[in-house]
């Protein structure tokens, strides 16, 4: 029998969260972001969960081609663009759109003939300082792209650094939007500004944001980029990680638990051993007090997470036994709450799910 550890993917929640994105930005078309194997949910599942999206966006060209093999006929966008001129013919052949964020990519487009013209998302750096042309360089990059025969259309794009915090002390959405407008001016083409944070705050930012396309990512998977909880935005978890108690220890006051003996029992305790560790994708950094749910009762992690196991406090659950059901995140326990306790973000937990974890599908609220 396999280990009693499995992740359940809730396609109904994916569909629901996509509908929430449409509610937030009703006038925009939606790129559902499916990079990193759809944030650990699986590319094929994401294609079904986001079937009504207007397009799928990701960074991996091989995964983009896989989407076409799976039967996705709607638009696909490469968010980081292409990396070599040799990548370009496949984009034209399979009708895959690409970001362009540097002069080197423009040069490759200029000298590489394509099977058919492609659509380009020209990226502006408005303060994130990762990828993109500076506003004063942007119009020249745009004109150079326009002169290329195999560029069919140009959409203007930027990325918000602090969309989860509307009045960030260093860089606000408003400042980035002003920068974007200065750089793009009245250049022809559609606009794509909002990531999940921008979409979730679309109502508050309606006067500033004018999106033809939005690019939600984490919100589609039941997480938020920060600030308010997913539940406050009406989002539902799309991944539930479950396991079982596989061993129980009764320990006395002063005894310690786990590697490094970092947890010392303040009194007599009942300790449960759960089949899940950092080799499964659970964060080793999760400290004592990180929440878990055992047989429907909330309790906490104790001791250090090890490679294959973790230890939890069963004292509040007197009837717990070997075989008791454990929820590590998801249904009933927001992944962002677990991530916050571990000093990370929900994105990382989803993407870190290890291949050895069995993955099933089930509706939210079921046992998977």
pLDDT mean values, one per 10 residues, the chain (368 residues): 94 98 95 98 98 98 98 98 96 97 98 94 97 97 97 97 82 91 95 94 81 96 88 96 98 96 96 98 97 98 97 96 98 96 95 96 82
Residue 367 lies in a domain: no
- Same domain, residue pair 288 and 172: no
DSSP one-letter string for 311-348:
EEE-TT-TT--TT-EEEEEBTTB-HHHHHHHTTS-HHH
Residue 68 lies in a domain: yes
- Same domain, residue pair 37 and 177: yes
Q: 211, 194 in Cβ contact below 8 A?
A: yes
- Same domain, residue pair 218 and 303: no
Cα distances (Å, whole numbers) of residue 77 to 33, 80, 100, 146, 270? 9, 9, 11, 19, 52
- Same domain, residue pair 31 and 120: yes
**What CATH number corresponds to the domain at position 59?**
3.20.20.10
3-state helix, strand, coil in the chain (%, to 5): 30, 25, 45
Alpha-carbon dihedral angle through residues 101, 149, 56, 25, given to the nearest 10 degrees: 80
DSSP one-letter string for 181-226:
HHHHTT-SS-EE---HHHHHTTTTTTTT---SEE---GGGGT--SS
- Same domain, residue pair 202 and 252: no
- Same domain, residue pair 18 and 93: yes
- Same domain, residue pair 246 and 221: no
Residue 6 lies in a domain: no
Specify the number of domains making up the chain. Answer: 2
Q: Tell me the two tokens of residue 286.
A: 């999760």
In degrees, to the nearest 5, what angle opens at C-alpha 179 toward C-alphas 177 and 184? 90
Domain boundary among 182, 201, 225: 225
Give the number of other CB atoms < 10 A from CB of residue 130. Answer: 10
Residue 368 lies in a domain: no
Residue 1 lies in a domain: no
- Same domain, residue pair 217 and 250: no
Residue 2 lies in a domain: no
**What CATH number corresponds to the domain at position 321?**
2.40.37.10
pTM of the predicted model as reported, rounded to 2 decimal places? 0.95
- Same domain, residue pair 251 and 159: no
Residue 198 lies in a domain: yes
- Same domain, residue pair 119 and 199: yes
- Same domain, residue pair 181 and 295: no
Candidates 173, 223, 161; CA nearest to 20 is: 223
pLDDT confidence of residue 164: 77
pLDDT confidence of residue 163: 80
Q: What is the pLDDT of residues 266-325, one digit of tens each?
A: 999 999 999 999 999 999 999 999 999 999 999 999 999 999 999 999 999 999 999 999
Domain boundary among 174, 198, 225: 225
Domain boundary among 225, 249, 267: 225
pLDDT confidence of residue 368: 52
Residue 366 lies in a domain: no
Q: Per DSSP, what are the bridge partners of residue 329?
A: 241
Place of tokens 């454990």: 326
Residue 287 belongs to what domain range? 239-361
Exposure string over 18-34, b if 16+ CB within 10 A, otherwise e? bebbbebbeebbbbbbb
- Same domain, residue pair 135 and 108: yes
Question: What are the catalytic residues?
Answer: 35, 259
């Amino acid at each position: 029998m396999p280990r009693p550890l499995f992740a359940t993917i809730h396609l109904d929640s994916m569909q629901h969260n996509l509908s929430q994105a449409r509610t937030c930005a009703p006038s925009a078309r939606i790129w559902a972001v499916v990079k990193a194997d759809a944030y650990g949910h699986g590319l094929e599942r994401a294609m079904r969960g986001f079937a009504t999206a207007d397009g799928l966006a990701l960074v991996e060209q091989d995964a983009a081609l896989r989407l076409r093999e799976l039967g996705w006929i709607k638009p696909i966008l490469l968010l980081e663009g292409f990396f070599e001129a040799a990548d370009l013919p496949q984009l034209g052949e399979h009708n895959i759109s690409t970001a362009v964020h540097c002069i080197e990519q423009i040069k490759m487009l200029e000298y590489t003939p394509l099977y058919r013209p492609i659509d380009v998302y020209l990226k502006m750096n408005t303060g994130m300082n990762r990828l993109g042309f500076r506003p004063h360089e942007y119009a020249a990059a745009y004109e150079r792209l326009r002169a290329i025969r195999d560029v069919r259309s140009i959409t203007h794009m930027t990325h918000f650094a602090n969309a989860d915090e509307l009045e960030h002390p260093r860089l606000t959405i408003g400042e980035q939007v002003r920068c974007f407008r200065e750089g793009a001016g009245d250049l022809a083409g559609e606009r794509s500004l909002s990531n999940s944070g921008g979409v979730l705050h679309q109502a508050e930012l309606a006067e500033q944001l004018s999106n033809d396309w939005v690019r939600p990512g984490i919100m589609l998977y039941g997480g938020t980029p920060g600030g308010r909880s997913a539940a406050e935005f009406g989002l539902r978890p799309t991944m539930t990680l479950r396991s079982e108690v596989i061993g129980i220890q009764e320990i006395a006051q002063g005894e310690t638990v786990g590697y490094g003996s970092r947890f010392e029992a303040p009194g007599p305790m009942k300790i449960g051993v759960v089949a899940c560790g950092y080799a499964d994708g659970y964060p080793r950094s999760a400290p004592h007090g990180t929440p878990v749910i055992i047989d429907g009762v909330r309790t906490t992690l104790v001791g250090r997470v090890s490679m294959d196991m973790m230890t939890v406090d069963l004292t509040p659950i007197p009837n717990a036994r070997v075989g008791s059901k454990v929820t590590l995140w998801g249904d009933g326990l927001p992944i962002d709450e677990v991530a916050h306790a571990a000093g990370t973000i929900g994105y990382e937990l989803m993407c870190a799910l290890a291949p050895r974890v069995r993955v099933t599908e089930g509706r939210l609220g079921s046992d998977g």
